[in-house]
Amino acid sequence: MLADTLISAPYYHAVGKEVEVFEHSYKNKIPFLLKGPTGTGKSRFVEYMAHKFERDLITISCHEETSSTDLIGRFIIKGAETVWLDGPLTTAVKNGSIIYLDEVAEARPDVIVAIHSLTDHRRILYIDKLGETIKAHENFMLVASFNPGYQRGFKELKPSTRQRFIAVSFDYPEPKIEAEILVNETQIDNDTAKKLVAIGNKIRNLTELGLTETVSTRLLVDAAKIIHSGLPKRLAVHVAVVEPLTDDLQTLEALKDLCNLMI
Ligand code: ADP
């Protein structure tokens, strides 16, 4: 249970059937995989679901150095003795928390090996350094996200791993919903929210620019925040939306000119 049940629910605007799908995968103890580019509400969704089920949420942002030891635990030296310290995965397995492995494909391969026995009917975690096997608490759930390989620089997830999850794709919401999200997140006026969303969609459609990552909802939320706090709109769009996307001078200029016409 949450330590403080008075914590208000995180704001999450459903974009499809993801809430129902998650509920059923949780009830049936099937791990859940969120696929999609960065800034599309994946983390917010998991926070929302954890709150809905009144479970503690442990989030791990995986990167290329993340190892199974980081997740399972390690011996540490305390004074004159060596003591075992549970890692976040072990804690979640014991306490019945939801663990969210963000960008799991980025982690070292031993992480994938470590979670395999938790992602099938066994629901067990093997702690090799202790020679122990622990059965997951019935409330435990494994959730992971990954950014599909169509973008350069991102790693793939093997079919044998993917097929252990129920998977849902996350993408940018349709304009009406995205504008609502901006208004809700930042209290910006509706008209400016719509203009920001139009800018986002315009740039998303400029596939010929070959941007590694395009305009996420997160970037639009950031732009809306700094506009709401008083920064001139054009400057806000330049620094929150355009500059984070590219360092190419010509592309920067072209995108800034485009945005100036739209806000
Ligand atoms: P991801 O985990 O996919 O990188 P986040 O969950 O961190 O993305 O989302 C980035 C920001 O975008 C959130 O902080 C929130 O402001 C906003 N956001 C995106 N999608 C939604 C949504 N469906 N409902 C509410 N907020 C959203």
Is 39 near ligand 1, meaning CB less than 6 Å away? yes
pLDDT of residue 1: 47
Q: pLDDT (tens digit, 9 = 90+) per residue, 142-172? A: 999 998 865 556 678 888 899 999 999 999 9
Global confidence as pTM: 0.93
pLDDT of residue 210: 84
pLDDT of residue 149: 63
Task: Give the DSSP letter string of the chain.
Answer: --S-TTSPPPP----SSHHHHHHHHHHTT--EEEE--TTSSHHHHHHHHHHHTT--EEEEE--TT--HHHHHEEEEEETTEEEEEE-HHHHHHHHT-EEEEETGGGS-HHHHHHHHTTSSTT-EEEETTTTEEEEPPTT-EEEEEE--TTSTTPPP--HHHHTTSEEEE--PPPHHHHHHHHHHHH---HHHHHHHHHHHHHHHH-GGG--SS---HHHHHHHHHHHHTT--HHHHHIIIIITTT---HHHHHHHHHHHHHH-
Q: Is the ipTM of this complex over 0.95?
A: yes
- Both tokens assigned to 137: 């608490």
Residue with CA closest to ligand 1 atom 11: 218
Give the whole-angstrom CA distance, residue 243 versus residue 102.
25
Confidence of residue 258 (pLDDT cuts 50, 70, 90): very high
From 181, 183, 184, 226, the mutation candidate for ligand 1 (largest count of ligand atoms within 8 A of CB) is 181
Q: In sequence order, which residues have a C-beta less than 8 Å from that of residue 54 and are 6 or more positions away?
A: 1, 2, 5
Distance 192 CA to ligand 1 centre (A): 19
Q: What is the mean pLDDT of the chain?
A: 94
Is 42 near ligand 1, meaning CB less than 6 Å away? yes
Q: pLDDT (tens digit, 9 = 90+) per residue, 4-56? A: 455 789 999 999 999 999 999 999 999 999 999 889 999 999 999 999 999 99
Question: Is pLDDT above 60 for 58?
Answer: yes
Give the whole-angstrom CA distance, residue 60 versus residue 75.
20
Closest by CA to 33, choosing from 105, 94, 96, is 105
Distance 35 CA to ligand 1 centre (A): 14
pLDDT of residue 155: 77
Is 217 near ligand 1, meaning CB less than 6 Å away? yes
Residue with CA closest to ligand 1 atom 26: 12
Distance 133 CA to ligand 1 centre (A): 36
pLDDT over 90 for what percent of the chain? 87
pLDDT of residue 8: 85
pLDDT of residue 134: 97
